[in-house]
Structures are given as C-alpha cells and as structure tokens.
A = this chain, B = another copy of it.
Amino acid sequence: MGSPFQNIEGAVTAPRGFRASGIAAGLKPSGAPDLALIVSEGDAVGAGVLTTNQVKAACVTYNQKILARRQPLRAIFCNAGQANACTGEEGERNNAQLAYWVGEQLGIPAEQVLTASTGVIGRQLDMGKIQAALPQLVENLSTEGGEEAARAIITTDLVTKSIALETEILGYTIRVGGIGKGSGMIHPNLATMLAFLTCDAAVEPSLWQQILKQAADLSFNQITVDGDTSTNDMLLALANGKSGIPTIQPDTEAAQVLAEMVNTACIHLAKAIARDGEGATKLLEIRVQGAADDAAARQIARVIASSPLVKSAAFGNDPNWGRVAAAAGRAGIPLDSRRLEICLGDFLLMQAGMPLPFDRQAASEYLKGDPVIFTVDLHQGSGQGVAWGCDLSYDYVRINAEYTT
C-alpha cells in the first residue's frame, strides 16, 4: 500500500501513557467480556464524532456536554451489553452515575470520563452488576490491555477490530491506536458502531476535533451494512502528548501527517467493520472518481455500497453493472450518464454510458474473491471518494428476522 506508517502491536495501549482493560460484568448472557476502560496517565485532549440519529442514547447526550466543555479528559468507559437508549431520565441519571463511579475508582472528576454503550435498548442498566465489576476493571488496567478492551466492546461481531500505527513527526515517535466494533445485533436492538482512538501526540484541541471529524468522513461515514444508523454510534479520541512532541498546531506539516495517520487507522477499522457486517461473505469497495468534487464522489460511492440490489448481486457473484449504474444515478448528484464508466476489478463493464462485452465467467470468478472492487468514473471532474460495504446474504435475513419474542 505504500503507507508511510508502521503497523505495530498494542491497539489503544500502543501510544505511550495509556492503559486499558476489559472484563465481564455479566451483562451479556454469554458471559463474554462486556466492560472496557481506556485511561490516559495524564490530561488528554478529547474529541468526538457522535451519532446524528435524533434518538440518542444517554451516553451520547452526556458526551456532547462533556466534549463541549473543551476541558482535559482522562478516560473512556464502555459497556457492551445494554445500550441505555430509550430509557428516559432514569437512563440519563444512570449514565452520569457510571461516570461518577469510574471517576471515583480512578481518583479523577466524573467530567473527565467519556461513556459509551451498546446492546439491548429500552432497558435500564443493571447498575449493580456494573458497580460490582468496576474495582476489578480498574485493577486490570495495563499498558498491554488494548486487545482486552477490543474484545470487551464487541457484541455479535465475529472478530475484534484493532489497529496501531507509528511514525516520526519532527523527530518524535508518534503512535495512534484504535479499537472498534461494528454491525453486531443484540435483540431487540440495533447495530452500533463504536470506535475509540488514542494518540500520544500533543495536539491543539480544535485541530484534534477537526482531524477526527475529517477521518470519520473518510472512513466510518463511508461504510454501510444496511443503511441503519444507531442511537449509540460514536467515535471518541484522546491525545495525551506523552510522546513529548510540542503541541501540533493547525496548518502545519505535522498536522497533515498526524491527520493522515488518523485517517489510515480509521479506514482500517471501518473496513474491518464493513467486512464483518451481518451475514457478510465479502467486503465491497466502491471507488468513485471523476466527480465534480470529493463530497459528490463519496456520496455516490455510499449509495452504491448500500444498494440492496448491488449487494445481492455481489452475493450471487453476478457482474451486474446495470445495478451499479442505476445506484450511481439515484445518489442525488448530477451526472452525465453518457460518460459513465464502470470497472469491476480489472474488467471494464461499461464505457461512455453503454455496456461493453466482457468475459462474464471470469468476472463472476473475480466476484467470488474478497474484497470486490467496483470503480466508477464520472469523467466530469477530479473529485474522488471510496465507500465500503458488504454483500447481502441469506444470513443477513436470518440474523435479523430471527424470532425473538
């Protein structure tokens, strides 16, 4: 890939000055780990991108307030068992209580703790179980705990998702770590996307937020499993400066390199989430180029990646350019269909808006691979964008239709 960043071990505890842990409090019927904690040794700059769903879990509205204070933060606490969404004022009080308890255990103010939840919605948190487990969670905090935390935030994900990258900036070794969870479903519930990043650079606060938002737009906002956006989706990031680098300022080369590294980490996690979509048998990567601008390209890529017809065709190994063209056409972006060009891998399926003869057998063989890459060229500008999704399989329907009452 020619990435200028080194892949390293450690997930969110790869950057210096971070400890993490993950244990089971008994919120999941399976008894799998369900509480995760990420703690910075010293004050960290926080940033967050939170769900745009109008129905927001208690942790979302809580984090909005905490992040709006623009004060130093220390910890991210996550439970993966109960979403604490659609739980009213009692849910809000419970969430604030959790932050208070975590702060108490860590010896820091509650206002330095971000919270996250995923799981069953519409039920009040089992506060007793969480309170009982907190001392152990804090005791387990370790500079090796990144993967443990990664395991504790997943629900029905088939695999954990983590990343750690390293590079030199201005002579300092800078690390970014991340963990994520994707499209698992706990009945009667929603797919929630969570991702937590850590970084040992010192970063000017508004720059850190801007870097995170931009990374989200290139990664998590470009993946889709079924178009549904959860009440609990969030991306949180802490930067604690423990690398020793002087505070990175906006509009500098250092800021650009850091942004690139955060983008790379987020895209890695986002692709892992898309690949692990419910019932998915393959990752779809939709590359759009030649658009009027990047935003237009990203929008078209997203619509194609979320088209049930395109997703079904991918599952069926059907090189169906017509569905890709039609999805591109309904993205709300003006395009000249007479210039449209579509490739599947190296197979040129359509040019100048008209289908070309191609080796259907070979193209279908290509579709059996993973990932499957469609490239759509609008030939009207230099805007480009990528989106990721997965195929739509019988298992998606089975998982989501399963009788739960």
Binding site for B on A (CB under 8 A): 52-56, 85-88, 121-123, 185, 187-191, 226-231, 306-309, 312-313, 315-323, 325-331, 333-335, 337-338, 340, 350, 352-355, 360-361, 363-364, 392-394, 396-398, 400-405
Question: Of B190, B307, B309, which contacts A326 at CB under 8 A?
Answer: B190
Task: Determine which residue in A52, A328, A398, A405 has the highest number of CB atoms from chain B within 10 A of its CB, and name it.
Answer: A405
Q: Are A329 and B54 in contact (CB under 8 A)?
A: yes
Q: Are A308 and B86 in contact (CB under 8 A)?
A: no
Residues of A contacting B: mostly: loop
Q: Are A229 and B397 in contact (CB under 8 A)?
A: no
Q: Are B189 and A55 in contact (CB under 8 A)?
A: no
CB distance from A357 to the nearest CB of B (A): 11
Question: Of B53, B88, B326, B331, which contacts A353 at CB under 8 A?
Answer: B88
Contacts A86-B337, A354-B86, A364-B405: A313 and B393 contacting too (C-beta < 8 A)?
Answer: no
Which of chain B's residues have a CB closer than 8 A to the CB of A188? 313, 318-323
Which of chain B's residues have a CB closer than 8 A to the CB of A328? 54-55
CB distance from A40 to the nearest CB of B (A): 32
Which of chain B's residues have a CB closer than 8 A to the CB of A226? 307-309
Can you offer 11 A-B residue contacts whose CB atoms are under 8 A?
Answer: A123-B355, A188-B321, A226-B307, A227-B308, A228-B308, A231-B326, A313-B400, A316-B404, A317-B403, A319-B405, A392-B401
Which of chain B's residues have a CB closer than 8 A to the CB of A327? 228
Q: Are B190 and A329 in contact (CB under 8 A)?
A: no
Question: Of B191, B320, B321, B329, which contacts A231 at CB under 8 A?
Answer: B329
Which of chain B's residues have a CB closer than 8 A to the CB of A350? 86, 122
Task: Determine which residue in A187, A334, A360 has the highest number of CB atoms from chain B within 10 A of its CB, and name it.
Answer: A187
Q: Are B54 and A337 in contact (CB under 8 A)?
A: yes
Which of chain B's residues have a CB closer than 8 A to the CB of A189? 322
Which of chain B's residues have a CB closer than 8 A to the CB of A227? 227, 306-308
Contacts A330-B53, A335-B54: A401 and B325 contacting too (C-beta < 8 A)?
Answer: no
Which of chain B's residues have a CB closer than 8 A to the CB of A398? 394
Which of chain B's residues have a CB closer than 8 A to the CB of A187? 318, 320
Contacts A54-B334, A55-B328, A309-B400: A405 and B323 contacting too (C-beta < 8 A)?
Answer: no
Which of chain B's residues have a CB closer than 8 A to the CB of A88? 338, 352-354
Q: Are B321 and A355 in contact (CB under 8 A)?
A: no
Contacts A318-B187, A350-B86: A329 and B401 contacting too (C-beta < 8 A)?
Answer: no
Contacts A308-B308, A320-B187: A326 and B401 contacting too (C-beta < 8 A)?
Answer: no
Which of chain B's residues have a CB closer than 8 A to the CB of A55? 325-326, 328-329, 335, 337, 340, 353
Query: A190's closest neighbor in chain B, by CB?
Result: B326
Q: Are A318 and B352 in contact (CB under 8 A)?
A: no
Q: Given A188-B319, A318-B402, A392-B401, output 18 extra A-B contacts at Cβ < 8 Å.
A: A53-B326, A54-B328, A54-B334, A55-B353, A87-B354, A121-B322, A122-B321, A187-B318, A227-B308, A228-B330, A308-B396, A312-B400, A318-B401, A318-B405, A364-B403, A393-B397, A394-B394, A396-B397
